Amino acid sequence: MNREAKSLQTIIESKEISGRNLEIATKVLNNQRISTEDAIYLYEHGDLAFVGLLSNHIREAKHGDFTYFNRNFHIEPTNICVFTCKFCSYSRLLKHADEGWVLDKEQMLDIIRSYKDKPVTEVHIVGGVHPKLTLEFFCDLFKSIKELRPDLHIKAFTAVEYEYMFRKAKVTVEEGLKIMMDAGLDSIPGGGAEIFDEILRDEICGDKATTAQWLEIHETAHKLGLKSNCTMLYGHIENYAHRVDHMNRLRELQDRTGGFNTFIPLKFRNQDNEMSDVPETSVIEDLKNYAISRIFLDNIDHIKAYWPMIGRSTAQLSLSFGVDDIDGTIDDTTKIYSMAGAEEQVPQLTTRQLVELIENVDRHPIERDTLYGVITDYKNYDFSKEDNNNGFVELPILN
Ligand code: SF4
């Protein structure tokens, strides 16, 4: 029995808790699934220490102290977008294209080339939905990336981008994904899920892929053998029942396919968007949300805190509230959250800094590949053997 299991059992036996709290704690200790009503109860009545204890119990039962990260970089081909999500601080409409950017194929390949001989394992490609960036264009790009770096894992495009691309190309979801996989697609990130409740979705992002389409694309991907991640945008106009409904739809899909690697709660940020009047959630609410997602999503292995979005200190704290993954080195290659007012305006960490961030809260840093294969165990790692640069494994910084 692990440390957390003992303390959970002690608390149950000591009768310090009772009623619904006792029922939920007993389920967690016995590895039983909690219900949607239990999850809503935890949001409404569970205090932070209690949900923290339950979530840390599950986190340590699944992963011990292991805390995962990867060495990745992002390519954002464009921030021009045909859609008009109210919470988005990042995109520009075509008529304001002069305020945005569109990278051509050679510019994107130059980014890939700039990582030559660097120990990155993943390129993460997402951006706006540009009407002229087609399925054919991206297939050609993927093939060229694989020619340059066959070892690089391509994790690309949200279900929202695919829905538009496939519709324009007049192919089915299955046909489109197969074409992408033949070109080099290795897995799918979890963005674009936002909130699944149809009424709220219509209110905040009604013109893009529907809930049913998002779920269909991921389910089809899983059936074709692709792994994907999933997300939830929280802390805007939704209530707790909406959050639990969202996670329940993910849990049900995962029961059918087992294809999700990781759940990533995404905090709504209110800078420079049409929802700037909506206040942001507190750190306590953020931690509680991580914890309850860890407790509820019993069939998804990993919970990720995206450190550029919540900042390094909260990311460290989250490791005691169910989170076991804090994403990657990123290397200042994403603008999605910095443009929305996130804590990290210049998101980059060296591998050593990321390792220290994890070790400073007594967790065990593991560099993983995209699919959670272990690349390097960084416990007591001697950085001086890696290079002559004062022990740092620096990655290039893109401007
Ligand atoms: S969130 Fe995505 S789909 Fe929506 S406007 Fe922004 S870039 Fe476009």
Q: What is the pLDDT of residues 234-277, one digit of tens each?
A: 999 999 999 999 999 999 999 999 999 999 999 999 998 999 99
Looking at the structure, do residues 127 and 218 belong to the same domain, yes or no?
A: yes
Regarding the beta carbon of 80 and ligand 1, being less than 6 Å apart is answered: no
Residue 399: the pLDDT is 32
Is residue 13 a part of any domain in this protein?
Answer: yes
**Residue keyed to tokens 């959630």:** 281
Shared domain check, 295 and 180: yes
Rounded to the nearest angstrom, the distance between the alpha carbon of 367 and the centre of ligand 1 is 30
Confidence check: pLDDT of 336 > 60 = no
Pick the closest to residue 396 from 200, 77, 97, 114 (CA basis): 114
Answer yes or no: do 117 and 210 share one domain. Answer: yes
> Are 26 and 143 members of one domain?
no
**Centre of ligand 1 from the C-alpha of residue 128, in Å:** 6
- From 15, 42, 63, give the residue that closes a domain: 63
Whole-number pLDDT of residue 334: 55
**Which long-range contacts link 254-258 to residues 24+ away (Cβ below 8 Å)?**
254/297, 254/299, 254/300, 255/299, 256/219, 257/219, 257/222, 257/223, 258/222, 258/299
Q: What is the mean pLDDT of residues 342-361?
A: 79
Residue 4 has pLDDT above 80, yes or no: no
Q: What is the CA radius of gyration of the chain?
A: 21
Q: Is 214 helix (H, G, I), strand (E, B) or coil?
A: helix
Query: Residue 246 domain-assigned?
Result: yes
Task: Say if 159 falls within a structural domain.
Answer: yes
pLDDT of the residue at 152? 97
Q: Is the pLDDT of residue 398 over 50?
A: no
**What distance in angstroms lies between residue 91's CA and the mean position of ligand 1's atoms?**
6
User: CA 196, CA 159: separation in Å to the nearest integer?
Assistant: 13
Regarding whether 45 and 70 lie in a shared domain, the answer is no
Q: Could you tell me the residue range of the domain that residue 55 belongs to?
A: 3-63
Identify the pLDDT of residue 280: 95
Torsion region of 115: left, alpha or beta (phi above 0 gives left; psi -120 to 50 gives alpha) = alpha
Q: List the residue whose alpha carbon is closest to atom 7 of ligand 1.
A: 128
For residues 196-219, give the mean pLDDT: 98
CA of 89 to the centre of ligand 1 (A): 9
Contacts of 95 (CB under 8 A, 6+ apart): none
208 sits in the region (left: phi over 0; alpha: psi -120 to 50; else beta) called: beta
pLDDT, average across residues 209-230: 98
Tens digit of each residue's pLDDT (9 = 90 or more) over 130-167: 999 999 999 999 999 999 999 999 999 999 999 999 99
Q: Which of 320, 293, 289, 323 is nearest to 306 (CA)?
A: 323
What is the pairing mode between strands 374-377 and 364-368? antiparallel
* Percent over 90 (pLDDT), the chain: 76
Q: Does the residue 90 lie in any domain?
A: yes
Contact 264, 230 (CB under 8 A): yes
Report the separation in Å between the CA atom of 83 and the middle of ligand 1, taken as the mean of its atom positions: 6
In 3D, which of 120, 102, 103, 92 has the Cα closest to residue 348? 120
Q: Is 90 in the pocket of ligand 1 (CB under 6 A)?
A: yes
Would you say residue 169 has pLDDT above 90?
yes
Quickly count: other Cβ atoms within 10 Å of residue 392's Cβ. 13
Check residue 90 and give its pLDDT.
85
The answer on 135 and 97 residing in a single domain is: yes
Q: Is 83 in the pocket of ligand 1 (CB under 6 A)?
A: yes
- Ligand 1 mean position to 84 CA, how many Å? 6
Instruction: Write down the pLDDT at residue 95.
Output: 80
Q: Is 389 helix (H, G, I), strand (E, B) or coil?
A: coil
Tell me, what amino acid is at 112?
Answer: I
**In this predicted structure, what is the pLDDT of residue 392?**
39
59 with 104, same domain?
no
Q: Are residues 294 and 155 in the same domain?
A: yes
335 belongs to a structural domain:
yes
Q: Whose CA is nearest to atom 1 of ligand 1?
A: 88
Give how many domains the chain has, as a whole number.
2
Evaluate if residue 291 carries a pLDDT over 90. Answer: yes
- Beta-carbon contacts of 155 under 8 Å, excluding residues fewer than 6 positions away, are 122, 123, 124, 125, 186, 187, 188, 189, 370
pLDDT score of 190 more than 70: yes
Q: What is the pLDDT of residue 397?
A: 40
The pair of structure tokens assigned to 51 is: 């949900």
How far is Cα 354 from Cα 189, in angstroms, rounded to an integer?
A: 22
> What confidence category does residue 390 fall into, taking pLDDT thresholds of 50, 70 and 90?
very low
Instruction: State in Å: Cα 316 to ligand 1 middle.
Output: 29
- Answer yes or no: do 57 and 181 share one domain: no
Per-residue pLDDT averaged across 225-240, rounded?
98
Which CATH number is 205's domain given? 3.20.20.70
Mutate to test the pocket of ligand 1, among 205, 217, 236, 274 (most ligand atoms within 8 A of CB): 205
Which of 63, 89, 108 finishes a domain? 63
Q: From the CA of 229, how far away is ligand 1's center (Å)?
A: 18
Q: Are residues 316 and 206 in the same domain?
A: yes
pLDDT digits (tens, 9 = 90+) for 55-73: 999 999 999 999 999 988 8
Exposed, middle or buried, 26 (CB in 10 Å: 0-12/13-18/19+)?
A: middle
State the pLDDT confidence band at 310, using cuts at 50, 70 and 90: confident
Question: pTM (2 decimals)?
Answer: 0.92
From residue 205, alpha-carbon distances to 192, 274, 353 in Å are 10, 11, 37
Same domain for 239 and 155, yes or no, is yes
Calculate how far, in angstroms, residue 310's C-alpha sits from the geometric centre of ligand 1: 20
CA 9/CA 22 separation, integer angstroms = 11
Q: Does a structural domain hold residue 337?
A: yes
204 lines ligand 1 (CB under 6 A): no
* 21 and 131 both lie in a single domain: no
* Cβ of 208 less than 6 Å from ligand 1: yes
Mean pLDDT value across residues 107-113: 97
Mean model confidence pLDDT for the chain: 91
pLDDT band at 1 (very low <50, low <70, confident <90, very high): low
Task: Indicate if the pLDDT at residue 393 is higher than 50.
Answer: no
Distance from C-alpha of 337 to C-alpha of 351, rounded to nearest angstrom: 21
Q: Output the six-digit token pair for 387.
A: 């290079």
Q: How many C-beta atoms surround the C-beta of residue 399 within 10 A?
A: 3
Looking at the chain, the whole-number percentage of residues with pLDDT higher than 70 is 90
DSSP 3-state of 123: strand
Answer yes or no: is the C-beta of 91 below 6 A from any ligand 1 atom: yes
Q: What is the pLDDT of residue 389?
A: 43
The verdict on residue 321 lying in a domain is: yes
- Residue 393, in any domain of the structure: no
The candidate with the shortest Cα–Cα distance to 199, out of 229, 238, 146, is 238
275 lines ligand 1 (CB under 6 A): no
Which of 91, 164, 337, when mutated, tests ligand 1's pocket best, judged by the most ligand atoms within 8 Å of its CB?
Answer: 91
Report the nearest-CA residue for atom 3 of ligand 1.
83
Predicted confidence band at 15 (pLDDT cuts at 50, 70, 90)? confident
